[in-house]
Amino acid sequence: MLLALLAGALIGLVLGLVGGGGSILAVPLLVYVVGVASPHAAIGTAAIAVALNALLGLAGHWRAGTVKWRCAGVFTLTAVIGAALGAELGKAVDGARLLALFGALMVVIGLLMLKGRTTLPLPDVRLTRETARELLPRLAPAGLIVGLMAGFFGIGGGFLIVPALLAATHMPMRNAIGSSLVAVTALGLTTATSYAVSGYVDWQIAGLMVLGGAAGAVVGIAAGRAMAGKKRTLEIGFALMVIAIGVYIIVHSL
């Protein structure tokens, strides 16, 4: 019970601090720390916990005014469709093989995070009738692809959503973080529903992780504001951690 609470607190902290990554840590934490035996059960339980923790983080970002709702809405709509399809594919894959693929994804994403962004942010970017012709062809496909990956691996996808939003709209990082939590919440609930219907959710552990995540999210959002000038340092540190965990999962699974 204590480990589940601490795992939830860490997920909430990361979600509040950098907007993504809580979900990619959730499955390894459940399997290797909390002790959930089935990879599929870990994925389903993680999806519930991440979705609700993301919802708590979203409330804080909403109050702070960092959510670009129209961009997030279009992205989320297509992402949910992709997640529903991806979840069905993921349940059909052997658990050990799924973990190995998950570890490989972590390594790839970590390397991409180390590369960083190369475009200048556009603080005033908005989805309107005038900008729809330019933004919709970017947002819709990006959401579908991210949703497929999120559903397949049972993750909220924040670590994928933030870079995707940045690439599609060039919004500032703080807006991408806040907006990503709309999609993280929806994707997590979509994946969780699919796995719950198949009986792959440990509700007690999920509840404990949500309780821990509530406290972690509050601390993470406050820390993110205080360390706004060191956001790139945080991203590099988190990317290195993601790569290390991904390598461990691959080796352990094989």
Of 88, 211, 203, 210, residue with least CA distance to 154: 88
Spell out the residues 6+ positions from residue 19 whose beta carbon is closer than 8 angstroms to its own.
158, 162, 176, 177, 178, 180, 181
Mean pLDDT of the chain: 83
Segment 237-248 shows an average pLDDT of: 82
Give the whole-number percent of the chain exceeding pLDDT 70.
91
* pLDDT, tens only, 49-102: 878 878 877 888 888 888 999 999 999 999 999 988 888 888 788 877 877 887
Give the whole-number percent of the chain exceeding pLDDT 90.
14
pLDDT on residue 73: 94
pLDDT on residue 60: 81
pLDDT on residue 157: 67
The Cβ of residue 234 has, within 10 Å, a number of other Cβ atoms equal to 16
Residue 28: band (very low, low, confident or very high) from pLDDT cuts 50, 70, 90 = confident
pLDDT on residue 78: 95
Segment 34-47 shows an average pLDDT of: 86
pLDDT on residue 81: 92
pLDDT on residue 138: 92
* pLDDT, tens only, 176-228: 888 988 998 888 888 888 888 888 888 999 889 888 888 887 888 777 777 76
pLDDT on residue 21: 61
pLDDT on residue 116: 64
Structural domain boundaries of the chain?
2-253
- Select the more confidently predicted residue: 119 or 8: 8
Report the predicted TM-score, pTM, of the whole model to 2 decimal places: 0.73
Which ranges of the chain would DSSP assign to H, the alpha helix? 2-18, 22-28, 39-64, 69-91, 95-115, 132-153, 158-169, 173-197, 203-226, 231-253
Q: Does position 141 have pLDDT exceeding 90, yes or no?
A: yes
Q: Does position 120 have pLDDT exceeding 70, yes or no?
A: no
Spell out the residues 6+ positions from residue 56 whose beta carbon is closer than 8 angstroms to its own.
12, 213, 214, 217
